[in-house]
Amino acid sequence: MITLKKQHRGYKSCKEVDSIWFDRIPISWREGKVTRFTIIKTGGTPNREILSYWENGSIPWMSSGEVNKGIVRETDNKITEDGFRNSNATLLPVHSVMIALNGQGKTKGMSAILEIEATCNQSLAALICDEKNLHYKFLYYYLQIQYRTIRGLVGDDARDGLNMSTMKEIFMPIPTLEEQVSIASYLDEKCALIDRVIEGKKKQIEILEEQRAAIINQAVMKGLDESVEMKESGVEWIGEIPKEWQAIRLSKLTTKMTNGFVGPTRNIFFDSGVKYLQSLHIKNNHIIFDTEYYVSEKWSNEHSKSILWEGDLLFVQTGDIGQVALVTKDFEGSNCHALIITRPNKKYLLPEYLVWYFLSSLGKEQLIAHQTGAMHPHLNCRVIKYIPVIIPSKKEQLEIAEFLEVEDSKIRKTIGLVEHSISVLNEYKTSLISHVVTGKIDISHTQ
C-alpha cells in the first residue's frame, strides 16, 4: 500500500516577508522578482491563410491551450521554415517555462515546461532561466502554486490578459541552486507517486461508469428477467427484444413535442421570477440550476408553449447531443430556451422509464444518428419524433425505472467517494508543493 503521509520538519530559522506571494522563508534564502533571474520572450503566429506556413512543417509551435499538458514533449501544430521567418515566432530552448498570458476558462496563468525546442503563439510567455541562479523545475513548481495569485494580478475575466508588465510583478523565493535542484527532484518523486494513485482512481471511475452503462443497457434492452423469450424487433439495428415488448415511434407515445423559445433573449431576464432553463443547465442528465436565469411571469405566459410540466423530458438541442433530463417537481412551471420538450403519454409510457431509455447506449446512439450539422451538431424535433422506442408494459417500465434508480444511486455514490479522494489527493499535492517551494518544509529532514 502506498503511504503518502510523512513526517515533515521546518527550517530552524526563518525571516518574515511582506508580500502577497509568501509570508516567510528560511533565513538563508533570497527573494526577488522572477525577471531578475529569467529572460522572458513571447511568440507569434504565422499567417493562417498562407497554407505553406503550416503544411508539412517541422518546427514545433505551441498554442496557449497546450499548457494543460504540464510537460510539453510535442505540440499539436508545426510550422515551416518559411512560416517561422515570416512571423514574430521565436525559437525557444529546451526547459523554457511557459505561462499562458490569456486563454479560455482556466488556462490563463497556467504553466508548463518545454522538453523540446519550440516556438509559441503570442498568448504565451517563455521564461528562460539563468541556469546559475534559477532551476527551471523549481520555477515551474513555484508558478503552479501561485496560479491564482498570478491570475489575480489582472482579474479572472477572460478579456483581462497577463502581459510583460504583470510578469515583472511575480515575486519568488530563491534558495541556493543546490537546494532548488534537490527540491525539484523531491517534488518530482512525490508528485509522480500521487499522480499514479490518482490515475488508478480515475481508472476505477472508468470501470464504474462502464458497469453503470452495462446495467442500464441490459435493463432497457432486455428487461430484468434474463430468461425471457426474445423476438425480432422489426428494426434492423435494434435486433431482438423481449417477446411482449414493442418498438414504437416516439411521436406515437407523446402528447407534446416542441422546441423551447428560440427568439432573442435581450432584456427578458430579471433577478427573480420564473426559472428559465437552457442547455447549460442540463448536466450529467440532471437539471442543475447553478447559473440562475429568470423571466417574468407575464413573459412566460405569453410564451406558454415552452412552459414545462413535471415529467417532461428535455433534450439538449444544440451542442452536447445526447444529454437529456427529466423535469422534476422543483422545475415544474419553468420556461426554457432552445431545448426539445417531450411530454410522454402516461397511458403508454412512463417518463421515469423514457429517460433511462435515452440514457442507454441505444438511446444515445439514436439521438446522435439523427443530429444534423457537422460543425454545430443540432437536433430537430421534426426528426427525432421518428425514433423508435422499445417499451415493455407499464408495470415493467416502473420496475425497470425503480431498479435502475437504486443501482445508479449506488454506483454514483461510489464514484462520488472516489472523486472526493482524488480531490483530497490533488489538494495534498498542491499543499506539499507550496510548503516545499516556500521553505515551510526542509526536505533534508524528511523521513
At residue 71, the 3 state secondary structure works out as: strand
Query: Per-residue confidence at 156, pLDDT binned at 50, 70, 90?
Result: low
Whether residues 39 and 166 fall in one domain: yes
Whether residues 45 and 169 fall in one domain: yes
> What are the cell numbers at 137?
523545475
Whether residues 250 and 383 fall in one domain: yes
Where is the domain boundary, 133, 151, 174?
Answer: 174
The whole-number pLDDT of residue 157 equals: 61
Tell me how many helices (H) and strands (E) the chain has: 10, 26
Residue 30 and residue 133 in contact, taking contact as beta carbons nearer than 8 Å: no
Domain count, the chain: 2
Where is the domain boundary, 391, 421, 437?
Answer: 391
Residue 311 has pLDDT above 80, yes or no: yes
Ranges 159-173, 274-288, 299-313, 317-331: which has the least confidence: 159-173
The whole-number pLDDT of residue 1 equals: 41
Residue 3 has pLDDT above 60, yes or no: no
Cα dihedral 364, 365, 369, 372, rounded to 10, equals 30
Whether residues 284 and 373 fall in one domain: yes
Whether residues 146 and 251 fall in one domain: no
Whether residues 250 and 385 fall in one domain: yes
CA atoms within 13 A on the CB side of 55: 4
The whole-number pLDDT of residue 5 equals: 47
Q: Is 313 among the domain residues?
A: yes
Q: Is 365 among the domain residues?
A: yes
The whole-number pLDDT of residue 445 equals: 66
Taking CA atoms, 384 is separated from 240, 354, 365, 369, 378, in Å, by: 22, 14, 12, 10, 11
Residue 161 has pLDDT above 50, yes or no: yes
Q: Is 121 among the domain residues?
A: yes
Q: Which long-range contacts (CB under 8 A, 24 or more apart) does 133-136 make?
A: 133/37, 133/174, 133/177, 134/37, 134/38, 134/174, 134/177, 134/180, 135/177, 135/180, 135/181, 135/184, 136/95, 136/96, 136/97
The whole-number pLDDT of residue 383 equals: 87
Question: How much is the average pLDDT of 72-100?
Answer: 95
At residue 326, the 3 state secondary structure works out as: strand
Q: Is 382 among the domain residues?
A: yes
The whole-number pLDDT of residue 447 equals: 46
The whole-number pLDDT of residue 166 equals: 86
Residue 170 has pLDDT above 50, yes or no: yes
Residue 19 has pLDDT above 70, yes or no: yes
Ranges 162-171, 190-199, 400-409: which has the least confidence: 162-171
Where is the domain boundary, 340, 356, 391?
Answer: 391
Q: Give 162 or 237, the one with higher predicted confidence.
A: 162
Residue 70 has pLDDT above 50, yes or no: yes
Q: Rounded mean pLDDT of the chain?
A: 92
pTM of the model: 0.83
What CATH number does residue 39 fall under?
3.90.220.20
Whether residues 272 and 161 fall in one domain: no
Q: Is 406 among the domain residues?
A: no
Whether residues 46 and 159 fall in one domain: yes
Question: How much is the average pLDDT of 390-398?
Answer: 96
The whole-number pLDDT of residue 4 equals: 43
Q: Is 320 among the domain residues?
A: yes
Query: Per-residue confidence at 118, pLDDT binned at 50, 70, 90?
Result: very high
Whether residues 250 and 169 fall in one domain: no
Domain span including residue 334: 246-391
> What are the cell numbers at 263?
427568439
Residue 255 has pLDDT above 60, yes or no: yes
Whether residues 273 and 374 fall in one domain: yes
Q: Is 84 among the domain residues?
A: yes
> What are the cell numbers at 388?
423508435
**What is the spatial distance between Cα 112 and Cα 44, in angstroms, rounded to a whole number?**
18
Q: Is 431 among the domain residues?
A: no
